[in-house]
Amino acid sequence: MSKKRKKINYNKWGYYFVAPFITVYVIFSLIPLLSTFYYSFFEYYYAQGGFIKVGPNFIGFENYVTLFSQGIFMKYLGNTVILWLMGFIPQVIVSLLMALWFTSFRLKLKGTAFFKTIMYMPNLVMAAAFSMLFVQLFSNTGGLTTLLMDIGVIPETFSFVDNVWPTRGLIAAMNFLMWFGNTTILLMAGIMGIDDALIESASVDGANSRQVFTKITLPLLKPILLFVLITSLVGGIQMFDIPFVFTRGTGGPQGSSQTVMMYISGLLRTSKQYDMAGTASVVLFILTTIISLICFFIMNKDEISEYREERRVKKEMKK
Amino acid sequence: MNKSMILKKMRFVDKLPLYFLRFFIYLILGIFAGAIIFLFYTLFVNASRAHIDISKGFSLYPGTFFTRNFQKIITQENLFVLEGIRNSFFIAFISGILTTYFSALTAYAIHLYQFKGRRFIHLAILAVMMIPSQIAGIGLVTILYSIGFVNNYWVIIIPAIASPATFFFMKQYIQSVLPYEIIEAARVDGSSEFRTFNQIVLPIIKPALSVQFIFSFVASWNNLFIPSLIIQDGKKRTLPIIIAQLGVSDPKNFDQGARFMLMFLAIIPTVIIYLIFSKFIIKGTTAGSVKG
């Protein structure tokens, strides 16, 4: 009896220990998030260079109507998705190939530790500085641009930063370089987690390496590929540092590399349009939440069913 | 017998292109690794060259201006690089400590105590892990502006206490390494729960703490979006903000050698940390995301 009482006493420490985490989360993330939702229904900005405060006046869904009728939000969202896809598609293909090569018993590659170390390295580099490095190398007077012109790879009149697709391509290339090592390592861990016996028995049954890949490796890698896809998409939607520094805050030629986060930051920084910035981030939030929740339910199947089971048992015990 | 013949045949056919395949693969790996090494090497080379030499063209050999560029960027007026490094380091260091400590504390509580609402809290933290932090941050920035509380480090540092991703890594780690008997023994010896955590649990989970500290430090060191909205005062700016602001200006108007030196100063610390701990960092990448 006394033992039981003691146990209950210990458990109250659980509340004390999670309290700081929960409090900080509520104050610094949850309340701001809810206030963003709230103010997206208000007219709330500073006029005349930030001196005259307008609002907050309730205007219902007008901000949302403005956001979508202006058309620039959809354009910037499109830019963001294009930039993300241009980096992500090659990233998954290259990472999958490299993960397969690194884990292949048949190839027996040497020096994989070296390659892995080098390829993961850009992931920890400051994106703003990395992007600035690319500006220095690929601007019209930049080192690599002039070098490529001298060799004759690109014509004398070519410009990386004044054309739509070269600019997008370089931004995508930076994202690719920063993330393909990380993805390779994740996929490698996934491949190494696959039971060798499965692949062996398939080969004994006469499956060739392509069949082994499409029928065994790929289906079993699905959860990790999904994880890579979702984390990359959530990060990609928030893309800011690299395009901002690379286009010097202008959004590139004809605004073709202006991302949604750059648009929002411009609204906050220069014109203090809290209402429109909030509305844009609510739309972005809803988009990412829908995507993330789908992933969350797929990835945490076990925990959710455990939680449901527990509640079911409790209900039955009450009866 | 038929089967072994097929196997023999396959081996012969498979073996022949293996050398070619290997050569091809090494070539591709070499290109990627070479490109990355090249980028870091140009950064170093150009950080050591004078402005005129850089504008003349490309070089593979380092110059003699390394210390001069360093002094130039450090003493550059209105840029406050030295303050930027100090601010970035201060914010990243404190954030790293807060993130790892409180994530471990929370993970430990969820793991050990059977309090009411435990499973709900656990699920809630896992769910908010997916919420993009920058979007939540926009609301915070708006609130801070409306109450006029900007230009302050602590509104960047304090939110680091609640880091769902670090919590998730810690939970996985604590689950796999922490023996319950040790906690029982500490209780029998009369140690308070808080003291047990600090003096017994923390040393056991040290490997995970250090990896998560590095991740958190690097993320904070590189963080641009929210700090750039909160901090405007020149001397309070962090390194990424300085880089972004210098990046927005025309590259022709600024000493290129000094510019490369600034990038060098921003990038090299994380690269050195990475090269020392790469084994643990690469392991830490997969610790939370890959189950089993």
Condensed to tens digits (0 to 9), the pLDDT of residues B75-85 reads 887 888 888 99
What's the pLDDT score for residue B1?
42
Condensed to tens digits (0 to 9), the pLDDT of residues B128-182 reads 877 788 888 888 888 888 887 888 888 889 999 998 889 988 888 888 888 888 8
Query: CA of B90, closest CA in chain A: separation in Å?
Result: 17
pLDDT category at B289 given cuts 50, 70, 90 is low
Measured between CB atoms, does A211 come within 8 Å of chain B? no
Chain B stretch 175-214, residues whose beta carbon is closer than 8 A to a beta carbon of chain A: 187, 193-194, 197
- Best A6, A22, A28 residue to mutate vs chain B (most B CBs within 10 Å): A28
Question: What would the mean pLDDT of B11-37 be, rounded to a whole number?
Answer: 82
Chain A stretch 279-308, residues whose beta carbon is closer than 8 A to a beta carbon of chain B: 281, 284-285, 288-289, 292-293, 295-296, 300, 303-304, 306-307
Domain B78-248: which CATH class?
mainly alpha
CA–CA dist A242, A172 (Å, integer): 9
What pTM was computed for the model?
Answer: 0.85
Is the pLDDT assigned to residue B259 strictly greater than 90? no
CA–CA dist A247, A166 (Å, integer): 12
Chain A stretch 46-65, residues whose beta carbon is closer than 8 A to a beta carbon of chain B: none
pLDDT category at B251 given cuts 50, 70, 90 is low
What's the pLDDT score for residue B10?
54
What's the pLDDT score for residue A40?
87
Domains in chain A (CATH in brackets) are 71-318 (1.10.3720.10)
Within chain A, which residues score under 50 in pLDDT?
1-8
**Which residues of chain B neighbour A182 with C-beta distances below 8 Å?**
285
Q: How far apart are the first and last CA of chain A?
A: 25
DSSP B198: I
What's the pLDDT score for residue B93?
93
pLDDT category at B16 given cuts 50, 70, 90 is low
| Residue position matching structure tokens 């009866």 | A319
The residues spanned by each domain of chain B are 2-65, 78-248
